[in-house]
Structure 1
Amino acid sequence: MPLFPGFSEVDIETEGVRVHARVGGSGEPLLLLHGYPQTHAMWHPIAAELARTYTVVAADLRGYGESVAHEKDFTFRAMARDQVRLMEQLGHKQFHVVSHDRGARTAHRMVLDHPASVKSLVLLDILPTVEVWRLMDAWLARKYYHWTFLAHPSDMPQRLLNSEPLTYLRATLAGLGGLNIFAPEAMAEYERAAQKPSVVEAWCGDYLAGATTDLDHDRADVGSISDIPCLVLWGDKGVVGKQVNPLETWRQWFANVSGHALDTGHFLVEEKPEEVLEAVRQHLAAATAG
């Protein structure tokens, strides 16, 4: 069974990258951005429904999935630029963004660097990058061990992961949500991607940038508050809401923020697709009407 029935595939060459995406539907443009260690396949539970009323673009981040990085810049600034250029080449100068995990961090940077491009934003199960590092105590370090492991400034993580990519992938997915929540077709895509050394390189480059250059970029923008509509959802069984109030935290970046927890772990879309879909639809309808 295809994960994205009726969608077409596109590959767009832009600055330092070839971005792979699936495109379907009609209506206002809507960009879907996945997280680590997944691909655009994570959106399969809701993409077809969203495509009934929106032009949906589900893209792979730089170096992830089928996107190919021609250069080694894995900052969120570069990833955000990639996606803006993708949408521009598809004819969309302004669009909504629904995003999860590293894709949500990319989307946050997109709003900061390309504010005219983003009409509204959905952030799934993250806190701002600067806040995560501020909160990094012994408890969080055990939950988010990959933040420091993948950011090691050598090829050690890549060499280890490339020797047992599926063991690492499955352990990561199980630790963040459990393996039984993933459709076999989606899991096959995640496994196929994880076995590419270039994807492992992107994971490590992404997290190294997240511990260094991305932090500098975000710290420079502390105090920059956007007024676009922003919906924040997080998993009540996960990490995001355990130390701080996510809405109050995100209000320091988005004045017009709303949201709530769902009865899930980290992978909201694959655990509770109907609830995510309903919340996203309501948010998009209000943002479009406004």
Structure 2
Amino acid sequence: MFGGEINLFAGFEKINIELSGATIHAKVGGEGDPLLLLHGYPQTHMMWHVIAEDLAKSHRVVAADLRGYGDSVAHDGDFTFRAMAQDQVAMMRHLGYSRFHVISHDRGARTAHRMVLDHPDVVRSVALIDILPTLDVWRTMDDWLARRYYHWLFLSQPGNMPRRLINNDPILFLHSALIGLSGATELFDERALAEYERAACNPEVVAAWCGDYTAAATVDLGHDRADLGRTSLIPCLILWGSRGVVAHHLDPLDAWRAWFPKADGHAVEAGHFLVEEQPAEVLRTLTRHLQRT
């Protein structure tokens, strides 16, 4: 690890679960129905610190790092969403939870989508924050979107070129990514930002970013195409930032109802990082969603 982890989860236990293909790092706290929180790029589970303690008042909350991200470690080099989903299901089973709710953002939300497809009896409800289905992103990738999602193209380049460039100045790259998706780094708690920086300075995390986006441009597309037409009737909440990119080409609800016919949701006055930009509103909406399910 690169320096010591800052703990922003009061009353939560730190765990590291050894699995066949990865070691998954997480924080666990609270009592009630199990609830898994999954973060996105280029962050870690630390993004949930603004609402995790409130969610833990009614749920057993598990905030986990995806394989290769944060303090989780990938052992087998598989960064597909299928592998990421399998990790989280195995971790939750290790903790004694065969069924659970999932709240997820960005890459974590893509992992959650794959989890519902591969493990349909596991997820009780799902919240997907500020993404479109992966197939729709690639289908609508024009010049406007490519300028804003340039990292989709850059990180998926073959060889070690992206990693070498990023590792030359990982803090600069991280800040550029955060600003590009949100408009500013000032919206992040400085302690959380320090955790994102600590992770970015680990070359293995950078390798995971690249492996993740390479899989999303190749293997993951095949998995999703094979599942076109499959739907899930579990409760599904869709949230997106009104000042972000997600709703520019497509209506997010329409896009996700092709997979989740009962999906409901709305825009939040925010950019990409809704949870940290508008924690009170997001928490209220998530709480209502969980109460209904």
Interval containing the TM-score (normalised by the shorter chain): over 0.9
> Which residue is equivalent to 1:264?
270
Q: CA offsets per residue over residues 215-234 of structure 1, 9 Å max, x none?
A: 00000001001000000000
Q: Secondary structure at the match of 1:166?
A: helix
Q: CA offsets per residue over residues 126-153 of structure 1, 9 Å max, x none?
A: 0000000000000000010000000001
Q: Counterpart amino acid of 2:97?
A: H
Identity of aligned residues (%): 61
Determine whether 1:244 maps to 2:288: no
Query: Which of 17, 38, 41 is the equivalent residue of 2:43?
Result: 38
Determine whether 1:116 maps to 2:134: no
Query: Aligned partners of 1:200, 1:67: CA distance in 2, in Å?
Result: 12
> Which residue is equivalent to 1:79?
84
Q: Report matched runs for 1:191-230 at 5 Å.
A: 191-230=197-236
Query: Aligned partners of 1:153, 1:26: CA distance in 2, in Å?
Result: 45
Q: Counterpart amino acid of 1:116?
A: D
* TM-score normalised by the chain length of structure 1: 0.98
Q: Counterpart amino acid of 1:152?
A: Q
Query: Aligned partners of 1:262, 1:93: CA distance in 2, in Å?
Result: 32
Query: Aligned partners of 2:161, 2:265: CA distance in 1, in Å?
Result: 39
Query: Which of 60, 68, 78 is the equivalent residue of 2:65?
Result: 60
Q: Counterpart amino acid of 2:27?
A: R
Deviation (angstroms), 1:103: 0.2
Q: CA offsets per residue over residues 30-69 of structure 1, 9 Å max, x none?
A: 0000000000000000000000000000000000000011
Q: Counterpart amino acid of 1:132?
A: V
Q: Which runs of 5+ in 2 are unaligned?
A: 1-5
Deviation (angstroms), 1:2: 3.9
Query: Which of 277, 283, 287 is the equivalent residue of 1:277?
Result: 283
Q: CA offsets per residue over residues 237-280 of structure 1, 9 Å max, x none?
A: 00001111100110000011000000000000000000110010
Q: Aligned-residue CA RMSD in angstroms? A: 0.7
Query: Which of 140, 146, 150 is the equivalent residue of 2:145?
Result: 140
> Which residue is equivalent to 1:162?
167
Q: Secondary structure at the match of 2:284?
A: helix
Determine whether 1:185 maps to 2:194: no
Query: Which of 66, 74, 89 is the equivalent residue of 1:69?
Result: 74
Aligned length: 287
Q: Which runs of 5+ in 1 are unaligned?
A: none
Q: Secondary structure at the match of 1:160?
A: helix
Q: Counterpart amino acid of 1:225?
A: T
Deviation (angstroms), 1:175: 1.1
Once superposed, which parts of structure 1, at least 4 consecutive aligned residues long, lie more than 2 Å away? none
Change (3 A) 1:2 1:15: closer
Query: Aligned partners of 2:23, 2:87: CA distance in 1, in Å?
Result: 9
> Which residue is equivalent to 1:5?
10
